[in-house]
Structures are given as C-alpha cells and as structure tokens.
Amino acid sequence: MLSRHCFHQASRRALSFGTRNSNLKGTLAATADASRLASVSSRQEVSSSSSLHFYSSVANRHVHSTLTPFIPSTVNNEDAFLKRYLSTTASASLDQNETKEQIGFKKLSPELEQLLRSEFEAVDANHDGKIDSEELKHLLRKHKDAFRESEILEISELFYVGNAAQGVPIDRLLKAIDDTLQGKEKSSLGAGTCAAEYYYDLNHHQWRPEDLENVKQTHIEPTTTSDKIALAAVKVVRFCFDNASGWNRGQITTSKILTRVIFLETIAAVPGMAAAVIRHFQSLRNMERDGGLINMFLEEATNERMHLLTFITMRDPGIFFRAVVVLGQAGFATGFVLAYIISPKFCHRFVGYVEEEAVSTYTKIIGAIENAEQGSDLGMWQTAKAPKIGISYWHLGENGTVLDLMKAVRADEAEHRDVNHEVCEMNSGDVNKRYDPGARIDGALNKYVKDMMTRAPKEDK
C-alpha cells in the first residue's frame, strides 16, 4: 500500500505541475522526483502495474520522448543539464496536431503559402499530410540550382535525426519556414540536437567561387585582460617568426612562401586536436554532451593537416627543418595543452588571433601571385596545376591552380578564425551553432523559400 500510495502521489504531482506549467524543465523535474520516490518505496512493495501504466501515460503526455532523464540531486543548473540531455525529441513544447487556423503566419503571403503547400503535397508520397526525410530529399532535388547533392543528403539526414525519424506535419513545416523568415533564432520545427555529437561535414571545404573571392580580413578587439594577453602573445610570436624566417626582408618568393606555410601548418594543427582530446575526456568524465565542439575541432585539426600534406608535395623539407619542427611542436603542444586545461577561452581567443594573422599572410601571398610577372616562379603559380591531393580535397576542378589552392586555404583559415572567436562567447551547455542540426535545417528552409520566390515569377511567365 505504501508503494501504491507514493507512486500515485508522485504521479498526481507530475500531472498537476504539467497542467499549471507546460514548461519542459518543470515537467521533467517532477517526473524525475516521481521516479526517485518510486525507487525508494519499491524496497517495501512493488506490485501495482496499473500505477505504472498511469505514471507512464502522465509522463508521455507532456514529453514526446519516452526517455525521461534522471536529474542528479547535485545538479544546480537544471536548464544547462536538460539542454545537454535533450536530443531527438520531435518537439516537446509543441502540439503536432495544431491546426492551420491556430498556427497563423506573419511573413508567408497567402500566395507563397499556397505555392509551398502544393509542392509539399506533391512529394507527400503516402498522403499522410507529413513530410519525412525521404520526401524532403525529393523536394530539395527539385531545386538543384540552390542545393548541391551533398547538401541534400546532409539536410535529409539531419531532418531524420532531428525529428526522431518522424514525419513533420505540413502546417508545422510552413510555420517553421515562417519563423525563419521572421529571423527567429530557433524555428518551431523543434529539431533535436543529438546529431551535433557525432555529425561530421564531409563536404565542408568545397568552397564556391564566390566564397573564395569574398574572404575579408577582420579583427575582434580585445575586451578583457585575457583577450589582451592573447593578442599581445600572438603579436610577439609573429614578430619573432617574421624576423627569424626573413619574411619581411626582400620580395616574396615561392621558396619563402613554402618555408613559411609548411612550418606554420605543422603547428597550426595542434590546437584543434588538443582541444578535441581534452573536451573528449571532459565529456566522458562528466558524462555529458559537448554540443558538437569535439567534432568541429577534430575537423579543424584534419583541415590544417591537409594544408601541410598538400604543401609538402611542392617542397620536401630537409633534416634541419624537420628537427626545428619537432622542437617547435613539442614546446607549443605542451604549453597549449596546459593552457587549455586552465583556460579554454583564452586558448580559443589566442587561436582566433593567430588565424587573423594567417588570413593576412595568405592574402599577401595571393596578391603577390596575382601581381607577379609572367614567366617568373611566382607568376607560374597563376596557371600551374595544384597538387592532386589539394584538387581532390578542395574539389578545385581538373584545372585547379596553385592560386586557387591558396584561396581555398585562406577561406579555411578565415573560418577557423571566426569559429574560435565564436567559441569564446559560448556558455556551458550551448550547442555549437555550426553543427546545430536545427540551425542547419532552418538555413536550408530559408534557402529553399528564397529559391521558390525567385522561381515563382519565371514560372508565371
């Protein structure tokens, strides 16, 4: 009787709390309390299957996932805890049966809404009024001018994962599109974030021509003492390296360029790997998610290593050079790992400033190649084919040149710059925006609607 009484009491508490407040955190906390009460009382009596059925129905009435997290008593910030736990819940705060009249659109015009609805219904193969990942794939393939095949496969996979394999009602999909047009940070699609923990963008560095040409040199002004120390450290290191390597003396030559970039890339691949490994152990130790940062830093380290592997096909360093690399890598790696354990934000700000200098360096290299005299060693890079490994990795095309290669590397460095500066602004429990499935899906929906809006006048004619 004690077990039955405790169980019913805890269940009623969860139900009444959920009725008064539909907030997901409160519901999960209440159901977690119910679970703990039931566990204690089960030592005396566990017999009521009807109570278990009642409890399950109450919990699932408010949470679309059948997995309710156990919230340890030591957790102080339940918001951060739940943010790390929640994954493929289709949308815990939205009613999937919400009607068209209840939804309402603020940005979608009636004409555009009807146009989108017609396209959705055309790919709804099973006529259930929902769009699943396979149907989304067919939909996006109608817009190949806007989406590459690799993007279509990526978006459909994230759509599948983010909605736990469920189809999304057409009205909810239209509402999500309306949200993106309003500029909301998160649409009402409610995609889960678990994919951020294992997602890798295999086509990430296949830059479009406009991406290569529009790289800007930017600078984040230091605001804290830590930022100022990081910037000062980068300036000192650059000054010493420029003078030691003779970079500022005389004209820029192919020999100077290769010496500089090969050495720097042996060091540049260290921070990403160090950050990923430390964060990996932290995730295991704390038994929590990392929000997609581990994969991003692993990919960053791989990208920097690909820079190196490409450049060494253009020049094979000698023994002395390799010895200097070993010493430099050992010293820098040791210092960076220790610094990262103490202050990750300082390290990411430091790397962000390093990448600012890298973008500046590659911009000078590109300018020197473009302005070099025809027939000179540097001028030949305007038309000389890039190494095969570089053509393959960056998809430079059959006739990709060394100049194209340098532009692709500069685009990589610009992204690393922005990524590391952005990480400094993230809080514990935040999901990496660049690997956030919901953000990527929202971006795809926005691109899709823009393509529809540009197509519509042409099709009317």
Q: Are 219 and 358 in contact (CB under 8 A)?
A: no
Average pLDDT score over the chain: 78
Q: Is 8 a residue whose pLDDT tops 70? A: no
CA distance 114 to 132: 20
Across 6-20, 67-81, 338-352, 388-402, the highest mean pLDDT is recorded for 338-352
User: At 364, is the pLDDT very low, low, confident or very high (cuts 50, 70, 90)?
Assistant: very high
Distances in whole angstroms, Cα of residue 165 to Cα of each of 61, 98, 159, 168 = 19, 20, 8, 9
Please determine, for residue 23, whether its predicted confidence score (pLDDT) is greater than 60. Answer: no
The pLDDT score that the predictor gives to residue 195 is 63
d(CA 252, CA 260): 11
Quote the percentage of the chain above a pLDDT of 90: 39
The pLDDT value given to residue 211:
87
In three-state secondary structure terms, 169 is strand
Same topology between domain 102-193+447-460 and domain 209-434 = no
So what's the pLDDT on residue 375? 84
Confidence check: pLDDT of 303 > 70: yes
Q: Which of 352, 327, 318 is nearest to 423 (CA)?
A: 352
Number of helical H runs and strand E runs in the chain: 19, 2
175, pLDDT greater than 70: yes
Is the per-residue pLDDT at 363 higher than 70?
yes
Reading the block at residue 359, the tokens are 């973008």
* pLDDT tens-digit readout, 144-171: 888 888 788 878 887 887 777 788 888 8
Pick the CATH number of 209-434 from 1.20.1260.140, 3.40.250.10, 1.20.120.1080, 3.40.50.720: 1.20.1260.140
User: Under DSSP, is residue 74 helix (H, G, I), strand (E, B) or coil?
Assistant: coil
Are 372 and 379 a contacting pair, CB within 8 Å?
yes
Give CA angle at 438 (186, 188), nearest 5°.
45
What CATH number was assigned to the domain covering residues 102-193+447-460? Answer: 1.10.238
80 or 94, which is more confident?
Answer: 80
The string of pLDDT tens digits covering residues 306-345 is 999 999 999 999 999 999 999 999 999 999 999 999 999 9
Residue 357 is assigned to a ligand binding site: no
Residue with tokens 């210092």: 335
Residue 45 pLDDT greater than 80, yes or no: no
Mean of pLDDT values over 430-458: 75
Q: Is 348 annotated as a binding residue?
A: no
Output the pLDDT for position 177: 84
78 is in an annotated binding site: no
Region of poorest pLDDT, from 67-76, 84-93, 158-167: 84-93
Compute how many other C-beta atoms are within 10 angstroms of the C-beta atom of residue 246. 11
Residue written as token pair 């009491």: 9
Classify 131 as helix, strand or coil. Answer: strand
pLDDT of 404 higher than 60: yes
User: Which residue did the predictor score with more confidence, 155 or 217?
Assistant: 217
Other beta carbons within 10 Å of 450 = 13
> What local confidence, expressed as pLDDT, does residue 198 receive?
67
> Residue 169's beta-bridge partner residues?
130
Residue 121 labeled ligand binder: no
Higher-pLDDT residue of 150, 413: 413
So what's the pLDDT on residue 37? 43
Mean pLDDT, to the nearest integer, of 204-222? 88
User: How does residue 202 score in pLDDT terms, banded at 50, 70 and 90?
Assistant: low
18, 30 Cβ separation under 8 angstroms: yes
Q: Which of 293, 398, 299, 391 is nearest to 347 (CA)?
A: 293
In 3-state terms, what secondary structure has residue 130?
A: strand
Check residue 354 and give its pLDDT.
Answer: 96
Give the residue-averaged pLDDT of 23-51.
Answer: 44
Model confidence pTM above 0.75: no
pLDDT, residue 456, reads: 55
The answer to whether the annotation marks 213 as part of a ligand binding site is: no
Q: Output the six-digit token pair for 418.
A: 């922005």
The predicted structure's pLDDT at residue 178: 83
| Residue ranges covered by each domain of the chain | 2-85, 102-193+447-460, 209-434
Rounded mean pLDDT of 257-265?
94
The whole-number average pLDDT for the span 88-108 is: 53
Three-state secondary-structure class, residue 439: helix
